[in-house]
Chains A and B, each alone.
Chain A
């Protein structure tokens, strides 16, 4: 059982949780995730570790209330307990000083992009963050991301805040304007990641996506999360969650 230390909404049905988990906090690296189970009969769901503090012994997760489990999670408050919490799972992000790195988060994907962007910044990259949302209230973590980026571009589909358009449009604008980009990290809905992969490919920009497959155990024993990368079956929970965007079969991913 893991105690919730802090819980607050940071967007419409998007909630931030700080949870006591000293073992996980000690080990965790950017890009890794946890599996949790809210109650005795609950399902297991994967969530990315958005932040952590080894000294204070906590990790942070951000959950959007979409289905039964995430909605139930979003009703939990500080002082409540998470029944099962296991991690850190998956391979850590491959971080190096690429030069100029663009971190793109769509919707709640921003919460996953944030810790990786932070690590990219710490590795000496010039970090450009593009954070998208349907409208103004769906743009999350802007202050946190500003603190770890050199440039931040919020975008909204309806133009209610920041750049009017999709995150892909903003990235395209940067590329076309001749900005030197060495690395792109894209996290969000599958169609968005597919579009970004398609956009960067002709320019030969190294692009990485973090896949969000259905998972049951999260430790490589079921293959529920399998994806096809370069024609090979991979397990996202053990071989990923990050993959070279230009090698991922997005068509298959969209169906699953």
Chain B
């Protein structure tokens, strides 16, 4: 039933005349001092006005651009018609975590870049509308449980409670299987709870979406390290199939002098302390995990991805006097979302581009005091197609800093491959899978997400989880299924 009156369908010509509706934000000088969400979300009026802009393509390219193939025009039409509950229901068929994806997906590279309006006008704000519908559902009627098929009696172990695992679990439960998610940490969500900060993705929203999965029947076991608490082989005695979605959680360091000084953190440690352990509330509300006091300090974050932006924006919120990004290429090569770079700049983050640290220096107590930075220039394109940074001889600068956060990427954790040698991995420790099916070299075991691709995005991990779920279903229900892996 529609909660709001529908708005008129505009003629195609008229639709293109309407400008894309910007999402309201907290003022930069206010938000850089709090951990509240930066984007405030659409009102119903904005959402319906934005929904009117969709051309309702017969063969919508946006659906192809979405890694989990959300029925985008269908849910947008329901917003225009005022039936937000129905819009949310349509989203949930293909996406286990719409409120999360509406916030953290790089839509500008996925659904929105292929929107028909993109060529001549501005694309429909698909992400903002997805967010609106799922927030509305949660706030007004509570997260609804999707339709569940007849129980199959088959048991699947999903290892890792991050985006890949949750999306796989969400699909498998709808297919009628008995699903248990095993998570090493004490909370479910993976990077959604320990990595992405509160100001981009409130943890209450992750909790609510996980709770929705629980209500649909997914079981969760926290504090369970597969490989140590039980090996994968032992688990397969109890389960008919397994999905490995353990992510890329092993932080890389640069192995330069001084990296062991006090004040040098991996982005994972820094963000885990702040996000998962709520170190920003240390002392208050009984939170026991400490953090160096950043008030009045200078923080340098090494890297140019979303993790680096999250780290540097977090330091300003913790009271740092200066927050700096140190990146070895130029801004156009930065892998971070444009929106995040833009937000960081608005909040006062300094960017030191074409620069790379070569050494950290400390005092006699072993505390970080400064860093040596090598200036770079761009040379010929490398294997990734990006122009390779080359050191300018002699151009080295010493910068006083108090804290360095290393955000240069993550590798794969060795625990699973050490304890299950049958699972074939490549030289970086990433699990090898057959791309179309996500099956691994071990019978009954599928894998997807960052453990396969290396560090990527939330939605790509969710897409891999979906593909795996469809193939796990096939493996469990098709009596003629043959396990070939090459």
- What residues on A are CB-neighbors of B251 within 8 Å? 221-223
Per the bound structure, the CA–CA distance linking A23 and B238 in Å amounts to 14
Residue from B225, B253, B268 whose CB has the most chain A CB atoms within 10 Å: B225
In the assembled complex, A87 has its CB within 8 A of some CB on chain B: yes
> B229 near A221 (CB under 8 angstroms)?
no
Interface of A is mostly: mixed
> B184 near A86 (CB under 8 angstroms)?
yes
One of A42, A216, A220 near B413 (C-beta < 8 A) = A220
In the assembled complex, B139 has its CB within 8 A of some CB on chain A: no
- What residues on A are CB-neighbors of B223 within 8 Å? 84-86
> A221 near B413 (CB under 8 angstroms)?
yes
Q: How far is the CB of A215 from chain B (nearest CB, A)?
A: 10
> B250 near A220 (CB under 8 angstroms)?
yes
> A41 near B285 (CB under 8 angstroms)?
yes
One of B222, B260, B285, B287 near A226 (C-beta < 8 A) = B260
- What residues on B are CB-neighbors of A255 within 8 Å? 260-262, 365-366
> B224 near A86 (CB under 8 angstroms)?
yes
- What residues on A are CB-neighbors of B366 within 8 Å? 252, 254-256
Per the bound structure, the CA–CA distance linking A69 and B290 in Å amounts to 12
> B262 near A89 (CB under 8 angstroms)?
no
In the assembled complex, A8 has its CB within 8 A of some CB on chain B: no
In the assembled complex, A238 has its CB within 8 A of some CB on chain B: yes
Q: In chain B between 209 and 255, which residues have their CB closer than 8 angstroms to a CB of chain A?
A: 222-225, 228-230, 249-251, 253, 255
> A228 near B230 (CB under 8 angstroms)?
no
In the assembled complex, B148 has its CB within 8 A of some CB on chain A: no
In the assembled complex, A27 has its CB within 8 A of some CB on chain B: yes
Q: How far is the CB of A92 from chain B (nearest CB, A)?
A: 10
In the assembled complex, B273 has its CB within 8 A of some CB on chain A: yes
In the assembled complex, B313 has its CB within 8 A of some CB on chain A: no
> B415 near A216 (CB under 8 angstroms)?
no
Q: In chain B between 126 and 141, which residues have their CB closer than 8 angstroms to a CB of chain A?
A: none
1/0 contact string of A50-85 vs chain B (CB within 8 Å): 000000000000000000110000000000000111
Per the bound structure, the CA–CA distance linking A152 and B225 in Å amounts to 37
B284, closest chain A residue (CB):
A41
In the assembled complex, A154 has its CB within 8 A of some CB on chain B: no
- What residues on A are CB-neighbors of B230 within 8 Å? 23, 27
- What residues on A are CB-neighbors of B261 within 8 Å? 255
One of A39, A89, A217, A252 near B228 (C-beta < 8 A) = A89
- What residues on B are CB-neighbors of A39 within 8 Å? 286
In the assembled complex, B420 has its CB within 8 A of some CB on chain A: no
Q: How many residues of B contact A (CB 8 A)?
A: 39
> A233 near B255 (CB under 8 angstroms)?
yes
A-B contacts at CB below 8 angstroms, number = 107
> A88 near B185 (CB under 8 angstroms)?
no
- What residues on B are CB-neighbors of A220 within 8 Å? 249-250, 413-415
Q: In chain B between 277 and 314, which residues have their CB closer than 8 angstroms to a CB of chain A?
A: 277-278, 285-290
In the assembled complex, B186 has its CB within 8 A of some CB on chain A: yes
Per the bound structure, the CA–CA distance linking A195 and B352 in Å amounts to 44
In the assembled complex, B171 has its CB within 8 A of some CB on chain A: no
In the assembled complex, A224 has its CB within 8 A of some CB on chain B: yes
Residue from B250, B265, B273, B286 whose CB has the most chain A CB atoms within 10 Å: B250
Q: How many residues of A contact B (CB 8 A)?
A: 39
- What residues on B are CB-neighbors of A216 within 8 Å? 269, 272-273, 277, 289
> B269 near A223 (CB under 8 angstroms)?
yes
- What residues on B are CB-neighbors of A228 within 8 Å? 260
In the assembled complex, B259 has its CB within 8 A of some CB on chain A: yes
B287, closest chain A residue (CB):
A41
Q: How far is the CB of A115 from chain B (nearest CB, A)?
A: 17
> A69 near B184 (CB under 8 angstroms)?
no
In the assembled complex, B71 has its CB within 8 A of some CB on chain A: no
Q: How far is the CB of B217 from chain A (nearest CB, A)?
A: 22
Per the bound structure, the CA–CA distance linking A224 and B250 in Å amounts to 11
> A43 near B224 (CB under 8 angstroms)?
no
Interface set of B (CB-CB < 8 Å, partner A):
184-186, 194, 222-225, 228-230, 249-251, 253, 255, 259-262, 265-266, 268-269, 272-273, 277-278, 285-290, 365-366, 413-415
Interface set of A (CB-CB < 8 Å, partner B):
23-24, 27, 37, 39-44, 68-69, 83-89, 216-217, 219-224, 226-228, 232-233, 235, 238, 249, 252, 254-256
A-B contact pairs, 27 of them (CB 8 A): A23-B224, A27-B229, A40-B286, A41-B287, A43-B277, A44-B277, A86-B184, A86-B186, A86-B224, A86-B225, A87-B225, A88-B228, A216-B269, A217-B184, A219-B184, A220-B249, A220-B414, A221-B194, A223-B268, A224-B266, A226-B253, A226-B260, A228-B260, A249-B260, A254-B366, A255-B261, A255-B365
- 7 further A-B pairs in the complex, CB-CB below 8 A; given A221-B194, A252-B366, A254-B366: A219-B225, A219-B415, A220-B249, A223-B253, A224-B265, A256-B262, A256-B366
**Among all A-B residue pairs, the 4 with the closest Cβ atoms:** A255-B366, A222-B269, A221-B249, A86-B223
